[in-house]
Structure 1
Amino acid sequence: MSSLYVVRGALRRQGPPQSCHRIFSRSNFFSRPARGGPTSLLPSTPARTRFAPSPTGYVHIGSLRTALFNYLLARATGGQFLVRVEDTDQKRLVPDAEEKLFEDLKWAGLSWDEGPDIGGPYGPYKQSERLQSYKEHANQLLKDGRAYRCFCTPEELDTMKKLALDESRDPVYNKTCSHISAEDAARRAANGQEHCIRFKCDSVAPLVQDLVYGTYKSPVPLDDFIIIKRDGFPTYHFANVVDDHLMKITHVIRGAEWLVSTPRHVALYNAFGWESPQFAHVGLLVDQKKQKLSKRFGSFNLSSWKEQGILPIALLNYVLLLGWSPSRDSKEKSEIMDMNDMIQKASYTLQFHLRFTKGDVTVNSKNEFLQKAHMRKSLSESSNTESVLASILPSLLNSIRKCEENRVSQDDSTPHKDLGVRIGQLVRCAHSTESPSGTSSTASSPVSQIYLNALFDLDGKSFTSPMDFLKRNVYHLWEIPEQQYRVRLQEQQALLNNIVVRESSGEEVQQYSQKVSELAATLLESLQGISEENWTEQNIKSTIGPFIKSIGYVSDEKPFQAWGWKFLRWVVSASAAGPALILSMVFLGKGETLARVSQACQVAQSIEA
C-alpha cells in the first residue's frame, strides 16, 4: 500500500511539522507585532478565561504563570476563571497529577469559579467525561464534508514519514483516505476497522490575530490533521476548540509554543461557524541554558518551590513579572504586589495590558528579593503571621529533620555537610518541656513548633529558604561543639595578646590587659546576677552593655579598637552570623546562655595555657 502514498499534505499526529520547528525559532513567527491600540488593553466586558492543564506531569512555574495571567484577566473584568482538566492523552497520564494540580493551585492562592471539583453550568470540566460531545461534533464535520475517516495504520504512517525524511521532505500526509467515499468509510468503520478522523484543511491557512504577536500567518500549508484518535479520544487541537466554544471562553492566554498550532484551531472555528476567542500567546520560560521548562523537570515544579519554603504570594509575584510588567501609566511603580495589588494593576484604570514580552523569558533569581520583601511585609501585619508560619513550618521542620539525620550519621569532628559548620546536639530548650517552648518534640518533629514560632519571631524577616534560615540560625537550634569555639577563637590569634579593657575614672581613661578567659569569667558573673524572671533584653543590655563596650584591642594603627561585640558573638554563637545578640540571648534563655559562656571560658583557658 505504500505505493499509494505521495507525500504532499501535512502528516502529523500531535506536534507541528519539522519545518514549523525550524521556523518557530525563539519567537520568529512571521507575524506583525502588536503595537498597542485598544486590542491590547483590558476588554470592556467580563472575560471568561480558563486554565486547562494536562495531568501528564506536575504544575511548574510556567503553567502557574499562565494560570495567573488568566486569573487576573477574569478578576479584573468581573468575569469568570475556569479550571478544565485535559486528560485525553491517556497513555501519558501521571496517576496523582490531577490531585496535585488542585492542591498546588489552592496552595498558590488561586481560586476558580468553575471546575471538576466544584462543577458549573458548562460541565463536565474533565475531557475524558466529554467524549460524547466530541463524537457528535466530529460527526457534524463528517456530515458537512469537512472531515473524513482515515484507515492508515500506524506502521504505514511511520513508513511514509521515514520515506519523507530520507528524501529531505516534510513528513506530510497525502490525503489518500480523503478519496474514500463517505458511505464506504462509514461501512468500514461499522465493521470495526480501526481508524482516526482527520479534519479536511483548506489550501490556505487562516490568519490568526494575536494580542501579543499581532497578525500571524502559518509559514506552511495546514495538514489534514487528526481530530479523533484511533482510541476514540479527541486530540488537543479538537477538544480544546469544542470545549472553549461550549464553555463560552472569551480569551485564551497560553504559551507561545501553541501559536504555530493556532491556525488549525481557527480553521476549526471557521468550519463550525463559531467566533474565535481572543488569543494571547506569552513567551516561553527557559532556564539559564535556554532550555524550555518541563513539567517533568523537578527543580521548577511547584513542589520543589514549596519545599524551599517560598511564600505563595512571593511566587505569584515572581511569575507575574516574568515577561510582563505594570503599565507605564500606573502611578504605583513598586514591583512588590500582593493579590489585591495584582488585581488592581490589572484593572482598567491602570490599563492592564496583554502586551507580554515576545520570545523566550529566562527565569532569574529575583524570587529571593521578592521572598524577603513579602516576608517582611507579611510579618509586619500581625493578621498574616499565622498564615506565613503555616506555609513555612512544614518545609522548615523537614529540613531540620534531614540535618539531624545527617548529624547523627557523620563524624562530629567534621563540619556538617549541609550547614557548613560543626554542630552538637539540638539545644535542650528546642524540645524540652522545661523551656518556654512548652511542648516536647515527637519522632516526626525533633523541634517543637512553638520553639520554631519563637525563632521565627526572632529572625523570620531574614527567611529566604529553609536551609539558608538554618545556616543563619544554626546555633539557635544546635549546641556549639568545643572544637568550633576553639577554631573560631584561634582565627583571631594575632590579637589575643593585645586585648584590653578600657576604664574611665573621672577625666582619666585607663586600659588594662585582659585574657579572653578573664573576659568570659566576668561576663558569666554579671549574667548570673540576672534572675530568670528578669531575663529580658533591657535588663541584659543594661547589665553587660558598658562592659562589652569597654573591650577592645590595641594595634599599631589605633590605640584602641572596639572588639567587645565580636567577643560576645563568639561566646553566644561561635562567631556565626545571625540576628541581634541580646535578643538571641533572650531567645536561648538564661540556662543555655550561661552554659555557652562557661564553655567559652574553658576553651579560652585551654588555648591560653
Structure 2
Amino acid sequence: MWKESKPARSKSDYPRLQQKKVNTDLTTPARTRFAPSPTGYLHLGSLRTALFNYLLAKRTGGQFLLRVEDTDQKRTVPDAEQRLYDHLRWAGLQWDEGPEVGGPYGPYRQSERSALYREHAQQLLDSGNAYRCFCSSERLHSLAEHRHKLGLATDYDRTCTHISAAESEEKASKGEKFVIRLKVPDVYPSYNDLTFGPFKPLQRRRGEDSYEDPILLKSDGLPTYHLANVVDDHHMHITHVIRGSEWMPSTPKHIFMYSAFNWQPPEFAHVGLLVDENGNKLSKRNFDTDITAFKDMEIFPETLVNFAALLGWSHTQKSDVMDMDKLTSIFNLKFTKGNAIVTFGKLHFLQRKHAISRIHAGGPPHDELVQNILKLLKDPDSPYKERDWKPTLGSNPTDYISRILTADSENYTNANEFVYRNQYFFTRSEVSLLPFIPEAPDVSERCKALAEVSEADWKPEKLKSKVEEIIDAREGGRKEGKHVYHYLRLALSGKKEGMRLYDMMWCLGRSECLRRLAVDV
C-alpha cells in the first residue's frame, strides 16, 4: 500500500485533545501535499488522503504537491511509482508540483534530497535537540526484550546521551556506525488539530528511564519519515497536512522539531481510519486493494472519487452524488472524528447515479460505455455468440447499444452486469418458443396488429397507443390488459420483468419485434 511506515502505538500514545471549535478558514490559498512511499500500490485509503489534500488546495486556489518518499529502497516495488502517477491522473488528481511536472522546490523525490536532510540533522545535533546513537542492533533488541518482559515501555534508554560531543565526533570520524536520534522534551509543545481541536501535551512521568527518541537519520545516511517529512514540508511551504489518525502519535514529535528549527508548523487535520461494517481494519476482501481492482470492476473515476470523499467527511448537500467540480466548490474541513465505515452498497449506488449522468450527457464518457459493451460481446470467451448478437445489433451496433443504455440507464453498473440483465437484446430468441397464455389463447394473434405501426412511427409513444388499442378492442379492462402485457414481455424478452415494455420494443426495433412475434412482414 502507498503509505508512510507506521510506528507502533498503544492507546496512551494518542494526544489528549480538547473538543473545541477549530479554525477552518478557507480564504487563504493552501499548499498541500500527498507524500506516498513506493513500497506498494495506491489503495482506497491513500486515494482518500490524496483527494482531501487536493480538494483543499483547489477549494482555496492553492497548490497540490506530489512528493515521493522513496528512502526505503529495500521495500520499493519496481513499478509502484509509475502506477501511482497513472492512478492519480485516472482519478483526476493532477498535481501542480512534483515528479514529471517539476516546480520551484524540487527535487520531489526524497532519495534526491539526502544532502538537505544531513544538513538539518547536523543542525539538531548542534542545538542539542538530537544526538548520535552508536548502540548496535543487538543491544537495542536485547534492551527491548528485557523491558517487554518487565512490562515496561520498550523505548530507548538514552545510553548514548552520556557520550560527550567531542567523543561523538571522534567515533563518527573513525567510521563507527551510528544513527541520529531526536531528543524529545519531557513536555511536547501544544498544537491545534483541525479535526479534534487543541492538543493538551502529555508530560513524561518522572523516574522513567525510557524515551520516545525516534531515529531521524539512519546508519546509511538516509532519513526516516520523521526528519524528511518535517524538512520537506517546511522547504516546500506546505500550509496544511491532512492525514489518517494513525499518525496522531507522531504529530507532537513533529511539532517539537518545528520548534527546534524555529519554524512555523503547518496546520494538521487527522481523519478517521477506514473500517468494515464490523469495525475491523479493511482486508483484501473488502476494499483494501489497489486502484487497479476498482478499474477492473469498471468503476468510473468520478464514482470512486465521490465514494472516497464521503468516507470521513460531512457536507450539507441534499445529495451525496457529486463530481469533482461539485466537491471542489463545497469542500470544507469538517471531518468526522470517528472511523469511516466502507460498504459496497454505497459504491454501487454512486456508480449507478454517475452512469445515468454519463449516458444522458453523451460525449466520450457515454461512448466509453458503448465500447465496453461491444468489447464484451466481441470477446471470444463471452457467452454471447456473434451468430446471435450480430443480426440483432444490425449494421450500426453503437446506435443500438446506445438506445438500450438510454432506456435502462438507471441500472448500469458495468458492462458485464448490464449485458447479463439485458441479454435478450443480444440473443436471437426462437419464434418456436412463443408463450401460450391459457386465460387468453388468442392474444398472440391480436398482438400481430403491431405490424400496423410503421418503421417511422416505431417509438415508445406510438407503441403505447397501439398496445392500448389492442387491449381496448376486447372487453375485460385491466384483466385483459394484463394478459397482453404479459404475453408481449415474455415473447420479446423471455422474462417476466425488465425495462418498460415500450422502451424494450423501441430498442429491439420493428423488424426484430415482429420476427419474435412471428409476424410475416
- TM-score past 0.5 threshold: yes
Paired residue secondary structure (2:420): helix
CA separation of 1:168 and 1:594: change in aligned 2, threshold 3 A? same
CA contact (8 A) 1:207 1:216 kept: yes
The CA RMSD over aligned residues, in Å, is: 3.4
- AA partner of residue 468 (structure 1): E
CA separation of 1:566 and 1:35: change in aligned 2, threshold 3 A? same
Q: What does 1:83-482 correspond to in 2, within 5 Å?
A: 83-217=66-200, 219=202, 221=204, 223-293=212-282, 300-326=289-315, 333-346=318-331, 352=332, 354-364=333-343, 365-382=345-362, 385-390=363-368, 392=369, 405=381, 407=383, 425-426=385-386, 428-430=388-390, 434-437=394-397, 452-480=401-429
CA contact (8 A) 1:309 1:396 kept: no
For the residues of structure 1 that align with 2:126 and 2:400, how far apart are their CA atoms?
71
**Which whole-Å deviations, capped at 9, do the CAs of 1:532-585 have from their partners, x for residues lacking one?**
67655466555555336668999xxx9756221121111111115332333333
Paired residue secondary structure (2:10): helix
In the TM superposition, residue 519 of structure 1 has moved relative to its aligned partner by 3.6
**Which whole-Å deviations, capped at 9, do the CAs of 1:163-184 have from their partners, x for residues lacking one?**
2222211111111222233343
Is the counterpart of residue 577 in structure 1 residue 488 in structure 2? Answer: no
CA contact (8 A) 1:82 1:112 kept: yes
In the TM superposition, residue 396 of structure 1 has moved relative to its aligned partner by 5.0
CA separation of 1:254 and 1:14: change in aligned 2, threshold 3 A? closer
Partner in structure 2 of residue 509 of structure 1:
none
- AA partner of residue 381 (structure 1): A
Partner in structure 2 of residue 3 of structure 1:
none
CA contact (8 A) 1:311 1:388 kept: no
- AA partner of residue 582 (structure 1): Y
Q: What does 1:529-548 correspond to in 2, within 5 Å?
A: 536-537=459-460, 540-541=463-464, 544-547=467-470
- AA partner of residue 547 (structure 1): I
In the TM superposition, residue 276 of structure 1 has moved relative to its aligned partner by 0.6
**Which whole-Å deviations, capped at 9, do the CAs of 1:287-326 have from their partners, x for residues lacking one?**
1232234699765532222233333223322222222222
Mind listing any 5+ residue stretches in structure 2 that lack a counterpart? Answer: 205-210
Number of aligned positions between the proteins = 510
For the residues of structure 2 that align with 1:88 and 1:300, how far apart are their CA atoms?
24
CA contact (8 A) 1:59 1:295 kept: no
- AA partner of residue 45 (structure 2): G
In the TM superposition, residue 453 of structure 1 has moved relative to its aligned partner by 3.8
Partner in structure 1 of residue 208 of structure 2:
none
**Which whole-Å deviations, capped at 9, do the CAs of 1:410-436 have from their partners, x for residues lacking one?**
xxxxxxxxxxxxxx6356454888532
Please report the TM-score for the alignment, with normalisation by the length of structure 2. Answer: 0.86
**Which whole-Å deviations, capped at 9, do the CAs of 1:502-528 have from their partners, x for residues lacking one?**
xxxxxxxxxxxx2xxx544554x5456
CA contact (8 A) 1:472 1:576 kept: no
Paired residue secondary structure (1:216): strand
CA separation of 1:400 and 1:63: change in aligned 2, threshold 3 A? farther
CA contact (8 A) 1:550 1:562 kept: no
Paired residue secondary structure (2:312): coil
For the residues of structure 1 that align with 2:336 and 2:39, how far apart are their CA atoms?
27
Mind listing any 5+ residue stretches in structure 1 that lack a counterpart? Answer: 1-12, 347-351, 408-423, 438-448, 501-513, 602-609
For the residues of structure 2 that align with 1:551 and 1:269, how far apart are their CA atoms?
87
Please report the TM-score for the alignment, with normalisation by the length of structure 1. Answer: 0.74
CA contact (8 A) 1:548 1:568 kept: no
Partner in structure 2 of residue 586 of structure 1:
506
For the residues of structure 1 that align with 2:173 and 2:364, how far apart are their CA atoms?
63
- AA partner of residue 123 (structure 2): Q
For the residues of structure 1 that align with 2:284 and 2:163, how far apart are their CA atoms?
41
For the residues of structure 2 that align with 1:436 and 1:389, how far apart are their CA atoms?
14
CA contact (8 A) 1:431 1:451 kept: no
For the residues of structure 1 that align with 2:287 and 2:346, how far apart are their CA atoms?
19
Partner in structure 2 of residue 74 of structure 1:
57
For the residues of structure 2 that align with 1:205 and 1:398, how far apart are their CA atoms?
60
Partner in structure 1 of residue 207 of structure 2:
none
Is the counterpart of residue 49 in structure 1 residue 28 in structure 2? Answer: no
